[in-house]
């Protein structure tokens, strides 16, 4: 990820918001943004993650707290390699407006948003569901949900940020993917994990 990738994501977001918000419409060109990086040399799986500032510079009676807190606002990506410009444009829209866990991002939120672009590389199969390192590996898990297969993914930083161990992370992945039953040993052994 580079600053150019993140800037391009914000350009794409502003372009998408522009037609519905007069203040933003005046800030963006009428044509779609163009990447300020070489878009044709690299194809990669990727994720676009938006976080929203929830508090900053809180004033207390005797001290001022300059800490900022961020909450997830949207995160969607693909494991299919795409040219970076095309993939970032497509998944900016997906993450900002189509992540079902959240309402679509609105123009008034832009000043409180941060974006992270994750370029995914070096996938390898895990020997079992706990065969990965917290903070080092992202975890992509495939499992049966009724008669079909489904997947759920966490980036390398998620388990560490949440303070989760391996068991809690895997349980959360099952829940994120829609699994609501008891997670038995058989269920764990049937899951396929890529790190």
- The H-or-E segment that residue 170 falls in is helix 166-176
Low-confidence spans in the chain with pLDDT less than 70:
1, 19-31, 39-41, 56-67
Q: What single-letter DSSP state applies at residue 134? A: T
Question: How much is the pLDDT for 42?
Answer: 80
Confidence at residue 35, expressed as pLDDT on a 0 to 100 scale? 77
- Site of tokens 């693909």: 78
- Taking the C-alpha atoms of residue 129 and residue 146, their distance in angstroms, rounded to an integer, is 20
Q: How far is CA 170 from the centre of its chain?
A: 17
pLDDT, residue 18, reads 80
- pLDDT, position 161: 86
CB 88 within 8 A of CB 117: yes
pLDDT in the model for residue 64: 44
CB of 57 closer than 8 Å to CB of 86 = no
pLDDT of residue 122: 85
Q: Give helix 84-97 / helix 3-17 axis angle, nearest 10°.
A: 50
Cβ(129)–Cβ(18) under 8 Å? Answer: no
């Amino acid at each position: 990820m580079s600053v150019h990738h993140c800037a391009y994501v914000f350009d794409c977001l502003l372009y998408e918001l522009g037609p519905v918000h007069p203040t933003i419409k005046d800030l963006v060109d009428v044509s779609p943004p163009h990447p300020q990086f070489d878009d044709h040399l690299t194809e990669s799986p990727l994720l676009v993650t938006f976080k929203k500032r929830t508090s900053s510079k809180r004033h207390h009676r005797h001290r001022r707290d300059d800490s900022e807190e961020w909450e997830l606002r949207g995160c969607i990506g693909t494991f299919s390699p795409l040219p970076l410009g095309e993939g970032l444009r497509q998944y900016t829209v997906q993450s900002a407006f189509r992540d079902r866990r959240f309402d679509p991002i609105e123009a008034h939120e832009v000043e409180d948003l941060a974006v992270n672009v994750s370029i995914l590389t070096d996938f390898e199969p895990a020997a079992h569901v706990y065969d990965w390192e917290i903070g080092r590996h992202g975890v992509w898990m495939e499992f049966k949900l009724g008669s079909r297969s489904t997947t759920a993914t966490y980036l390398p930083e998620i388990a560490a940020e949440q303070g989760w161990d391996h068991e809690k992370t895997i349980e959360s992945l099952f829940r994120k993917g829609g699994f609501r039953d008891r997670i038995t040993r058989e269920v764990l052994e049937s899951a396929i994990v890529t790190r």
